[in-house]
Structure 1
């Protein structure tokens, strides 16, 4: 199975969780997904009052410089770990 196929399968696993991961875990899932699919964050930082948006933006920005393939591999690994806890 190719890396992209494994990544897509992991994304489906994350969507099928029956319990909600912690906010920190969700931020990591989000950041790795964005880094894997889009690459480095080049968007403007959200406004002062958008706390959720700022947290997501910062989590993605923290992954800056990570290659898309490395982000996919990290996402797959994280999805597997979380699946044991939340499915």
Structure 2
């Protein structure tokens, strides 16, 4: 199975977890997913300084800057595997 196939399966599994992960894990999943699918952050930071969710998501994704898509996919697969 290729890393792409494993990643796609992990994305599907992440939507059917029995327990909702904590916010830190959700942010990590979000950032790894964005890095794996889009690469380095390619949008402007949120302009509303009171939109804390958007800011947290942006910052989490920005911290992944420079990580390869394959590496991000692998980390995502491993993280979802731990959440079963």
Instruction: With the length of structure 1 as denominator, give the TM-score of the two structures.
Output: 0.92
| CA apart distance, 1:74 | 0.5
What pairs up with 1:1-87 in 2 under 5 angstroms? Answer: 1-46=1-46, 47-83=48-84
5+ residue gaps in structure 2? none
RMSD: 0.6
| CA apart distance, 1:82 | 1.3
CA distance in 2, matches of 1:42, 1:8: 22
SS at match of 2:25: helix
Instruction: With the length of structure 2 as denominator, give the TM-score of the two structures.
Output: 0.96
- 1:25-46, CA deviations, whole angstroms, 9 ceiling, x for partnerless residues? 0000000000000000021111
